[in-house]
A = this chain, B = another copy of it.
Amino acid sequence: MDLQSAPLRVTIVGSGNVAWGLAPALTATPSIHIVRVISRDPAHASALAAAIGPGVEATTDLSEAAHDADIVILAVSDKAIAPIAASAPPSSTAALWIHTSGSVDAGVLSGASPRYGVLYPMQTFTRGVAVDLSDAPIFIEASDGSTLAIIRHLAESISSNVREADSDGRRRLHCAAVFACNFTNHMWDIADSIARGAGASVADYMPLIQETLRKAATIGPHDGQTGPARRGDKGVMEAHQALLPPLQREIYRLLSTSITSQYEQD
C-alpha cells in the first residue's frame, strides 16, 4: 500500500448514517476508490453502493471485507465493531482496518489486522442529508506511523481539521459531544414541550437560539452565559420550577446549581 501509486481500495462495512455521511466525501477523492459496501441488509448495501457510483459491489458477506481491498472501514454501531473484527478471516490481515467510533478503543481491531486505527468524525449524520464535513474535526489514531499516514490521507480528503487523539482522548471528546449536541438538543425538546403549554413551540425560539449560538461562538459560552441562574435570581427560578413536572423541575434545579457554581468560582 503506497500513497504514491494506485488508488486506495476501500470496503465500507455498514450502511447507516455514518457510512452515508462519509462515503460521498471519500468518493470525491481520486486517490480513494470505494470498491464494496457490506451490510447485513442486502437492500441497504445495494442502495449505498448505487449512491456511491457504478461498479461498487454490494454484499452481506463479511468474509469479503478485506478481499482485494487496502482498507476496511467499519462504519457500524459501537457494539458491532469487536465482533466483526474478531470474525475477520486470516486473509484479512493484509488490509488496514479502521473504525469510526468515539467510544471504542482502537485495539479491538488488532485481531483483524496488525495495522489498524480510528477515523472519528466530530459530526452528526442523517441518512439522505449531505453534511458538509470540510471543517468538521476528524480525530485519528493508528497502530503505527505508516498506518497513521494513510489514515491521515483519508481524513484530509474529508476535512481540513484533522487531529490526533488516542482512545482516552477520543472518549473525552465524544463525552463533550454528548453535552454539546445530544444534551443541547434535549434542552430544545424540553423547551418545545413547555412552550406548547403557552401556544408557542421551539420554532419560535430559533432566533433566540441562533443568537445564543452566535454569542457562544464569538465570546465563548462561559462569558456568554445569561439567565436567572447567572444572575442569582431565586424568585424567577422558583417560579419556573413551580411550572414544571418533577423530572424537568429536577433538571432545572441541577443545571441552575451548576451555572451558579461556575460563576461563584470566578
The verdict on A42 contacting chain B, using a C-beta distance below 8 Å, is no
Interface class of chain A by DSSP:
helix
* A187 to B18 Cα, complex, angstroms: 24
Q: Quick one: CB contact mask for A171-193 with B, threshold 8 Å, 1 for yes?
A: 11111111111111111111110
The verdict on A146 contacting chain B, using a C-beta distance below 8 Å, is no
Q: Are B175 and A103 in contact (CB under 8 A)?
A: no
Check A247/B261 contact, CB under 8 A, given A172-B198, A200-B176.
yes
Partner of A171, one of B191, B204, B231, B240: B240
Residue of B nearest to A169 (CB): B198
Residue of B nearest to A137 (CB): B204
The verdict on A230 contacting chain B, using a C-beta distance below 8 Å, is yes
Partner of A183, one of B202, B255, B261: B255
Partner of A182, one of B171, B225, B235: B225
The verdict on A250 contacting chain B, using a C-beta distance below 8 Å, is yes
Q: Are A209 and B180 in contact (CB under 8 A)?
A: yes
Please, which residues of chain B bring their CB within 8 A of the CB of A172?
194-195, 197-198, 243
The verdict on A254 contacting chain B, using a C-beta distance below 8 Å, is yes
Q: What are the 7 closest A-B residue pairs judged by CB atoms, nearest first?
A: A182-B227, A180-B191, A176-B194, A188-B221, A169-B198, A189-B221, A172-B198
Selected A-B contacts with CB under 8 Å, 13 pairs = A78-B233, A122-B204, A124-B208, A137-B207, A161-B204, A178-B227, A181-B205, A183-B227, A183-B251, A183-B252, A190-B258, A192-B222, A251-B254
